[in-house]
Structure 1
Amino acid sequence: MKTRISRILALAFICLFIYQPAFSQAPEEKALLWKISGNGLEKPSYLFGTIHIICADRYEMSDAVLKAVESVDKIALEVDMDDPALAGKMQQISVNPGMKNIQEEIPSDKMELVDSYLKAKFGQGIAQLGILKPFVLSSMIMVSSMDCETKQYEAEFVKLAQENGKEIIGLESIEFQVSLFDSLDLQEQIKALVESIENPSENNEVLEEMMQAYLAKDLKAIQMNFEKNEEFEGFQEKILFERNRNWIPIIKETSKSGSIFYAVGAGHLASDQGVIALLRTEGFKVEAVE
């Protein structure tokens, strides 16, 4: 059976990553926190795999992670979430070019469904919310479908940085992340939007699978969830491998200047093209902590 486009986008929204089967260089240990040393580093840095959204009652922050955060000079996230201009940037790049409304792109037989759902969930219909990019609406729907209070690891790390007077840096820009979704075909995004409304249980299933694997610190289990989604194959170079390669020289140079706590989507840690394997190839020692 062909994988639903809504499931594919839901996976990307949650983690902004995908996987391929593990090879010899891929990490074998069940761990989310890793220590980076060697290759001329004066002080160790740390690599932590996050899940970008999780039910608050299942959120965990271990003493080992807190100790690692306290020991470093800076915290690096995929995007600098402490940037005061971030909210304005996100608002600007979340809307369609020219404030175009997508309602004319939605199939006529699905219009009432989409409009009534948006009104029920967000208090505004497609006439108002249609200026948002379809993948933004799909993301809003996915989060609203969760039957729990939610937390974000990245937001918690920003709080820890602020409380401990540590600088936050970003490995890439929010504009670059949004461009990954902008590269998707508009009609595919519309299709995903409609599917997410018609089948909300699909998103919940994706979220539950991801949370279970994440809490088990089982990178292989997370990886297996993505291997069954064959349609990710054409997207994986942009969404995962290219970004991993882009980050390696940044991690190399930044770690030379001091101890850094890197927190990125857990999927970036897995596979022979993951961050752990690439750092080892560059001569770093990367050890599982927990």
Structure 2
Amino acid sequence: MTTKRMISMLLALLMMSITASAQLLWKVTGNQLQHPSYLFGTMHQADGSYIDSIAALNDVINSVDGVWVEIEKDKLLTPEALSYINSMMMAPPDSTLSQLLSAEGVKIVAGVVDKYFNGMVSMNAIEKLKPAAIMTQIEALQLLQVDKSLKLGNPDNMLDAAVQTRAAAAGKTSHSLETVEFQARLLFGYPLNQQAADLLEFCKADGKVVELIDQLVSAYKQQDLDKILRIMGAPEMGGSSPQEMERIIYARNRNWVKTLVPAMQRGSVLVAVGAGHLPSSQGLIALLRDAGFTVEAVKK
């Protein structure tokens, strides 16, 4: 999935029990395609075992020629990638949180940090991170408060990775839509003063954010993509700005379609990306329909 904006992206992508596929798995046909392709709205933080709860997904993996994901797990987990992400998360020495916020603002953030970390991490250590990175740490613990069964420690065990592992076992190739560098810059590379303002507002709205996370869990269980999008747009989730939705969702969708249409024309593919990228007039479903394809929910 994340600053107040980043949270929007990650939260739309997570969660728990997944039932029969109605709005998560979509079939793409028409427009002279020789074979159908598919869209799957994944949840980045969900356990990989949930793959077997999505009706028809295993059949789809076995039927396609390849899989497209946001970033291939093997590229995400290299020492070089992890080092780059870590470097992007660190605050410059002259731009730590106490230099970006007032003393009262730092106190508010410190209160939320203490609430979730239970004193196990000091503010001196936290302050070495950029505000957006601080927010991702808090967000992960908020998720665990909503669903204590989540296992956030090993990305290789999560749903996106499970799709790729299952595809590899079936002899299918996986491909990346983006680079680690692009996503790290997207999440941690925007102006630090804006990151600090986002973090402060996020901490002030802590209770409401947890409530909205809980609603996102429910929306994903119900496979209600429109509801996921509405919750993402709540002011507390940072999705209320059209400019930010353009930056973190819609512009990326348009770029992906430029890659995915030729890939679908070459052969059948499964596109497994965050569920928040599927709905809306600028989501992948609508963009592919606008390009002349028929896109319909897979029901089994």
- 2:23 counterpart letter in structure 1: A
Deviates most, 254-263 or 188-197: 188-197
1:133 correspondence with 2:130: yes
Structure with the bigger RCO (C-alpha within 8 Å, sep 6+) is 1
User: Which residue of 1 is the match for residue 16 of structure 2?
Assistant: none
Cα offset for 1:104?
Answer: 2.5
TM-score (norm 1): 0.79
Cα offset for 1:199?
Answer: 4.6
User: Which residue of 2 is the match for residue 12 of structure 1?
Assistant: 9
User: Which residue of 1 is the match for residue 293 of structure 2?
Assistant: 284
User: Which residue of 2 is the match for residue 44 of structure 1?
Assistant: 36
User: Which residue of 2 is the match for residue 175 of structure 1?
Assistant: 181
Distance in 2 of aligned mates of 1:122 and 1:158: 38
Unaligned runs of 5+ in 1: 1-5, 17-28
* Contact 1:103–1:127 (8 Å) recurs in 2: no
Which one of 71, 81, 85 corresponds to residue 63 of structure 2? 71
* Contact 1:30–1:219 (8 Å) recurs in 2: no
Unaligned runs of 5+ in 2: 14-20, 152-157
With over 3 angstroms needed to count, the CA separation of the structure-2 counterparts of 1:31 and 1:90, relative to structure 1, is same
Deviates most, 143-152 or 52-61: 52-61
Distance in 2 of aligned mates of 1:68 and 1:99: 51
1:93 correspondence with 2:92: no
Distance in 1 of aligned mates of 2:263 and 2:56: 22
- 2:184 counterpart letter in structure 1: V
Distance in 2 of aligned mates of 1:98 and 1:166: 46
* Contact 1:100–1:131 (8 Å) recurs in 2: no
1:189-228 correspondence to structure 2 within 5 Å: 189-197=195-203, 199-228=205-234
Cα offset for 1:49?
Answer: 0.9
Cα offset for 1:183?
Answer: 5.8
Cα offset for 1:115?
Answer: 4.7
Cα offset for 1:99?
Answer: 8.9
- 1:36 counterpart letter in structure 2: V
Distance in 1 of aligned mates of 2:188 and 2:250: 18
1:146-185 correspondence to structure 2 within 5 Å: 146-147=144-145, 148-150=148-150, 152-182=158-188, 184-185=190-191
- 1:257 counterpart letter in structure 2: R
Per-residue CA shift, 1:180-220, capped at 9, x if unaligned?
33464423322333454455323321211112112211222
* Contact 1:73–1:259 (8 Å) recurs in 2: yes
User: Which residue of 2 is the match for residue 109 of structure 1?
Assistant: 104
Partner SS state of residue 282, structure 2: coil
Which one of 246, 249, 256 corresponds to residue 265 of structure 2? 256
Distance in 2 of aligned mates of 1:73 and 1:121: 48
With over 3 angstroms needed to count, the CA separation of the structure-2 counterparts of 1:118 and 1:130, relative to structure 1, is same
With over 3 angstroms needed to count, the CA separation of the structure-2 counterparts of 1:181 and 1:122, relative to structure 1, is farther
What is the identity percentage for the equivalent residue pairs of Structure 1 and Structure 2?
29
Distance in 2 of aligned mates of 1:95 and 1:207: 26
With over 3 angstroms needed to count, the CA separation of the structure-2 counterparts of 1:121 and 1:60, relative to structure 1, is farther
Deviates most, 29-38 or 242-251: 29-38
With over 3 angstroms needed to count, the CA separation of the structure-2 counterparts of 1:91 and 1:162, relative to structure 1, is farther
TM-score (norm 2): 0.77
- 1:137 counterpart letter in structure 2: I
Distance in 1 of aligned mates of 2:281 and 2:32: 23
With over 3 angstroms needed to count, the CA separation of the structure-2 counterparts of 1:277 and 1:270, relative to structure 1, is same
* Contact 1:141–1:197 (8 Å) recurs in 2: no
